[in-house]
Amino acid sequence: MFAAWKQEKTTAGLVAEAQALADKLAGTKPHIVEAHAAAALLWQAVFRDQGQDLHSIATWPKAKAARFAADALARIAVLRKARDYDSSDGLAVWMHSARTVAEPRIAEPVRQIWAHLAAAGPNAASMAEEQIAEAGLAPHGPLRIPEGFDAG
């Protein structure tokens, strides 16, 4: 019984964390949403360069998604300690997306996050192009919502 309560508390915390990001994006200035979208695109390019297709993250096996989320969480902590908040926020989007594989209740806030990022202004694409070029990565196309996270 205690284990079930502890698991529920953990899951509720993950849902609340994703919802907090969705709410932040809903209530913030457009340039903040653009920065999040650009950072998400940068991380997609980083992982694409490493051979991982984040666009299909919702269909990954649970173990692979859990490893990705744990690794992303550790990397986010390092980025935030270095005060690289924009980059860490972009990676957090992917971390929340990966967490939905094991816990479908996180999917709704993650859909909201992706809807906000998809609606980001035109500066998001140009910021992402700059960041991707600075990182020495191949050019990336426009932001695409990963499979399974569209509004429908």
Q: pLDDT tens-digit profile of 59-102?
A: 999 999 999 999 999 999 999 999 998 899 999 999 999 999 98
Q: How many CA atoms are closer than 13 Å to the CA of 46, on its beta-carbon side?
A: 15
Place of tokens 């993950």: 14
Rounded distance between C-alpha atoms, residue 44 and residue 119, angstroms: 18
Quick: pLDDT tens for 11-29.
788 889 999 999 999 999 9
pTM of full prediction above 0.85: yes
CB within 8 Å of 144: residues ≥ 6 apart: 55
**Banded model confidence at residue 117, pLDDT cuts 50, 70, 90:** very high
Q: What is the pLDDT of residue 79?
A: 95
Rounded distance between C-alpha atoms, residue 144 and residue 57, angstroms: 13
